[in-house]
Amino acid sequence: MSKPIKPVIKKGAIRKDGTSIIFIQYCRSAEQRTLVDSGISIPPNFWNRKTGRISETLPFEYGNAIALQEQLVQKLRRAEDMVDYAIKKSVVCPMKFLKNNFSLGVNWQPQQMKNHTNSLDVFQHIDDYVASKTGSVKKCTINVINAMKSHLQLFEAHRKEAITFDSFDANFYESFVQYLTHEVPQVRRKALVKGLKANTAGKTIKHLKAFLKDRMWKKMIPHIDLTGYKVLEEEVDAIYISWEELSVIYHMDLSATTQLEKYRDLFVLGCLTGFRFSDYSDIRPEEVRNGMLYVNQAKTHSTVVVPLRADARTILIDRYKMQMPQVSNVNFNYYIKEVVRLAGIAEPIKIVHKRGNKTTQEIRPKYAWVTSHTCRRSFCTNEFLAGTPTNLIMAISGHKTEKAFRRYIKAEQVQKAEMIKKIWDSRPNL
């Protein structure tokens, strides 16, 4: 007889980021059941309720589907082991025991109950690291850390050798970067793609370093020399919406598609304030004082003060009475493309990426490249081109150095080209 333990997603339980938690459900009887958080969350559309499995078409920003399914199987086995242990003890309530002790690690054993931290392997330490970060960093950061863990697990299987804390030397770094760049599997539109873009691989290395430094700082592991662990990055010609294009979007008549109005208004508000999606989509009445917007940014935990433009005030106060519509980032990114398409912003844009020493390029209409992050880039770029001092823009954008800011906006080339154009226009033609 199979154990009454299975993975489930609660119907309708969708969070702000568009994901739902996969719970491990234990049914002791028809009336008695409990849920424990598996630590895995995905958009519910990519969950097969009949088979209890994650769809292989899961977008990679939510983690690698194959690795996440393996994690889920491990956690199901751990729950089964815990329930068996509690039942054998007879005096222990299996439901309460599972609820209280499920988070102790992937390969749980009864002897781990007293002092489990020092006996955890690398991946269990990552789980412990995630638990320590939960609540203090954004959910998207937790997703990136979990993606880093998935990449490590896949690399471990690829090289057929267990990863321990002794593994993290210079040779490991070189082999891991090679794997991330050329071998790590991804499912893209039902097609298998191998290798990550440079910036995505760089995020993996960045969070791996942060994790190892955390373990060293807490004296859980010996010192590891990470000086050679360079974070990969590349400059990307990401798009921005010009002031003229934004004006077209703002004044669009969407009476025939009223369901798109909230996405248009949120997008324009983001372009006028420069905030991250998590900040401008959740503005509260008490954050507006004397015509200024006081927002405590979720990522940096710092308060930013921004004057409210007349158009932003119209959206925020006149239209929505300080109660902006609550939409998920996933839905926003889907519907805002349609809004921008209806605005006629469809010029072909080529984006170039590097995977190792290979360069790939993709050409799409401009609207197809638009996401929630386009708002911040558009705000910064438009302000820069309009002559706003860089230090004032950075006070809102949160960039720490001017070098990082200038690389982010990609506007200097546009500004210089405009200056050259003015000089050329003043000269006679042939």
More confident site: 59 or 253: 253
pLDDT in tens, 5-32: 889 998 888 888 889 999 988 888 877 8
As for how many domains the chain has, the answer is 2
Q: Does residue 123 form part of some domain?
A: yes
- The answer as to whether 238 is a domain residue is no
Residue range 402-428: mean pLDDT, rounded: 75
Residue 227 within any structural domain of the chain = no
| pLDDT computed for residue 192 by the predictor | 64
Whether 260 has a pLDDT exceeding 70, the answer reads yes
Residues 114 and 164 in one domain: yes
Residue 205: how many CB atoms within 10 A of its CB?
A: 21
Identify the pLDDT of residue 212: 95
Asked if residue 186 and residue 92 are part of one domain, the reply reads yes
Residue 224 included in any domain? no
Residue 232 lies in a domain: no
pLDDT-derived band at 115, boundaries 50, 70, 90: very low
Quickly list DSSP for 191-257.
EEEES--HHHHHHHHHHHHHHHHHHHHTTSS-----TT-PPP----------HHHHHHHHT---GGG
Do 378 and 317 belong to one domain? Answer: yes
Opening angle at CA 68, ends 63 and 72, nearest 5: 150
Question: 224 is written with which tokens?
Answer: 């590891």
Same domain, 51 and 180: yes
Residue 236 falls inside a structural domain: no
Which helix (DSSP H) or strand (DSSP E) does residue 6 occupy? strand 5-8
Q: What is the pLDDT of residues 51-62, one digit of tens each?
A: 888 988 888 778
* 185 and 151 fall within a common domain: yes
Q: Domain of 267: which CATH number?
A: 1.10.443.10
Range of the domain at 78: 5-217
Tokens of 295: 């927002």
If asked whether residues 256 and 203 sit together in one domain, one would say no
Asked whether residue 223 is domain-assigned, the answer is no
